[in-house]
């Protein structure tokens, strides 16, 4: 005999089933969402930075032209004074030869102007007499006394002064032409010097931005040159931690891929903070002969002695996603939609949790486990389905 199911029993079973499913859904949702708490165990923060050479310059073009030669490639070592880059100087050399010819002509003109001045000084009106075979001088002997007696003969002293002034102006003009030609040659010599880039110190080529044959304009970068015999770590320190640092102070740092910390020393604290990021640049000296190279990632541990050191938010490692080189988490809004939030990470409180310096506060709700497919705007349920977690539902 088959059992009889009354409608009341069926309805009761349906309600209980729905209630059981709601509990399961709530339980699973709570596991997906993590409420940010604070920890009193962290006494320091770890700031990410970059390894840089202690000396670095960017060699840029000072004049337009074609690159004729580059001394080497990335990693090649050169001593101070070595010519690293040379531009084609054929056009400049041609202009210099033309300027030298102008200078020679100007000097010849000066010599002639001085000779004419001396002749006029020692033999007045000699040029006019020579042009007419001496006739003006003979006529002047007969006519000048009569003209002077009648008051129409003019002033011979003024005429002679005017002639001397004319020849003096010719000398000054020739001298100015010489100065102009010399200035042109000096300018071309400076351009010839600017056509070559010389190593300012012993170092290596770190990066090439141009190749032989490229046409460049003034200001365009050609190579980055640096001294890698000594290395530094450059970090951006939040302003609230700046009072914990002094020049010469020793800290612990860890290079990317290293298993042990190394001791670094604060070398320079920049005098001005970045207005947008509210951080200050700090450079720290690495030990000599350390195995590292420029561009590596490094983290530096800075002790925090303020009251805030015991109130850093702690989040699970599984909630952190990386967008390029920036860590982020996904905030869970009141409507269960997700929003990506960039954070600044501190040190690990244990193997599964990290401290957060900025970006989160206690009480924020974040996604416990995130992956590369998680996006802003998704809901918690959608994220659970994408990560392979099955929510219980009543059929």
Q: Over the stretch 220-279, which tens digit does the pLDDT of each residue have?
A: 999 999 999 899 999 999 888 888 899 999 999 999 888 888 999 999 999 988 877 788
Residue 79 confidence class, pLDDT cut points 50, 70, 90: very high
Verdict on whether the full-model pTM lies above 0.75: no
Please give the share of the chain, as a percent, with pLDDT higher than 90.
31
Read off the pLDDT of residues 339-351 as tens digits, 9 standing for 90 and up: 999 998 876 767 7
Q: At what angle do helices 156-194 and 90-122 cross, to 10 degrees?
A: 160
Predicted confidence (pLDDT) at residue 39 exceeds the cutoff of 50: yes
Instruction: State whether the Cα torsion 62-63-64-65 is positive or negative.
Output: negative
**pLDDT at residue 44 in the model:** 73
The pLDDT tens digits of the residues spanning 364-393 come to: 999 998 887 888 888 877 655 555 543 333
Let me know: does 391 contact 25? Beta carbons within 8 Å. yes
Superfamily designation of domain 46-85+206-307: Efflux pump adaptor protein, beta barrel domain (2.40.30.170)
The dihedral formed by the CA atoms of 128, 134, 135 and 138, expressed in degrees to the nearest 10 = 110
Does the pLDDT value for residue 57 go beyond 70? Answer: yes
Residue 226: CB atoms within 10 A of its CB come to 20
Q: How confident is the model at residue 45 (pLDDT cuts 50, 70, 90)?
A: confident
> Average pLDDT, whole number, for the chain?
79
| Reduced DSSP (H G I as helix, E B as strand, rest coil) percent helix, strand, coil of the chain, to 5 | 35, 35, 30
Long-range pairs of 75-78 with CB within 8 A, sequence gap ≥ 24: 75/204, 75/205, 76/204, 76/205, 77/202, 77/203, 77/204, 78/199, 78/202, 78/203, 78/204, 78/205
| Structure confidence by residue, pLDDT tens digits, 276-290 | 778 899 999 999 888
CA Rg, the chain, in Å?
A: 43
pLDDT digits (tens, 9 = 90+) for 286-312: 998 888 888 899 999 887 654 444 567
Quick one: which of 318, 329, 314 has its CA closest to 369? 318
The band of 146, judged by pLDDT with boundaries at 50, 70 and 90, is: low
Q: Which CATH number fits domain 311-386: 3.40.190.150, 2.30.40.10, 2.40.420.20, 3.40.50.300?
A: 2.40.420.20
243 vs 13, more confident: 243
- Block residue for tokens 């009141």: 334
> Checking DSSP bridges between strand 37-39 and strand 215-216, what pairing results, if any?
unpaired
The yes-or-no verdict on residue 41 having pLDDT over 70 is no
Whole-number Å distance between alpha carbons of 9 and 348: 55
Judged against a pLDDT cut of 70, whether residue 122 lies above it is answered with yes
CA gap 226, 238 in Å, rounded: 28
Report the candidate in 17, 46, 42, 57 with the shortest Cα–Cα distance to residue 306.
42
> Tokens 């501190």 map to which residue?
346
Give pLDDT, residue 208: 92
Helix (H) or strand (E) holding 143: helix 135-150
DSSP state of 75: T
Q: What mean pLDDT is predicted for residues 14-33? A: 44
Q: How many C-beta neighbours within 10 Å does residue 350 have?
A: 10
Q: What is the pLDDT of residue 42?
A: 47
Q: Which of 68-77, 107-116, 119-128, 170-179 shows the lowest per-residue confidence on average (mean pLDDT)?
A: 119-128
Residue 63 has pLDDT above 80, yes or no: yes
- pLDDT band at 31; cut points 50, 70, 90: confident
């Amino acid at each position: 005999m088959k059992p009889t199911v009354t409608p009341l029993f069926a309805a009761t079973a349906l309600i209980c089933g729905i209630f059981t499913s709601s509990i399961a859904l709530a339980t699973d949702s709570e596991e997906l969402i993590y409420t940010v708490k604070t920890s009193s165990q962290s006494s320091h923060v770890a700031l990410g930075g970059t390894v840089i050479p202690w000396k670095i310059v960017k060699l840029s073009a000072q004049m337009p032209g074609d690159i004729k030669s580059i001394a080497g490639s990335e990693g090649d070592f050169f001593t101070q004074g070595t010519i690293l880059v040379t531009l084609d100087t054929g056009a400049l050399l041609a202009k210099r030869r033309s300027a030298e010819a102008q200078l020679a002509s100007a000097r010849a003109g000066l010599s002639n102007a001085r000779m004419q001045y001396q002749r006029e000084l020692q033999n007045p009106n000699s040029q006019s007499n020579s042009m007419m075979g001496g006739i003006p001088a003979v006529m002047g002997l007969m006519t000048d006394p009569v003209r002077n007696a009648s008051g129409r003969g003019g002033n011979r002293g003024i005429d002679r002064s005017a002639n001397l002034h004319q020849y003096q102006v010719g000398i000054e003009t020739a001298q100015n032409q010489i100065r102009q030609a010399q200035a042109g040659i000096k300018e071309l010599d400076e351009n010839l010097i600017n056509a070559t880039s010389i190593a300012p110190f012993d170092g290596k080529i770190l990066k090439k931005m141009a190749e032989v044959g490229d046409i460049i304009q003034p200001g365009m970068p050609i190579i980055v040159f640096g001294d890698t015999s000594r290395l530094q770590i450059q970090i951006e320190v939040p302003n609230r931690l700046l009072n914990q640092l002094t020049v010469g102070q020793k800290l612990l740092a860890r290079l990317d891929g290293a298993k042990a910390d190394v001791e670094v020393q604060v070398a320079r604290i920049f005098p001005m903070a970045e207005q947008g990021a509210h951080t200050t640049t700090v450079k720290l000296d690495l030990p000599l002969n350390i195995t590292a190279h420029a561009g590596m990632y490094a983290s530096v541990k800075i002790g925090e002695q303020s009251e805030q050191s015991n109130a850093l938010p702690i989040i699970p490692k599984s909630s952190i996603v990386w967008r390029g080189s920036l860590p982020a988490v996904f905030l869970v809004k009141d409507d269960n939609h997700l929003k990506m939030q960039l954070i600044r990470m501190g040190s690990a409180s244990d193997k599964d949790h990290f401290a957060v310096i900025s970006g989160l506060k206690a009480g924020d709700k974040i996604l416990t486990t995130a992956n590369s497919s998680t996006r802003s705007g998704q809901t918690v349920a959608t994220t659970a389905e994408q990560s392979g977690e099955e929510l219980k539902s009543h059929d």
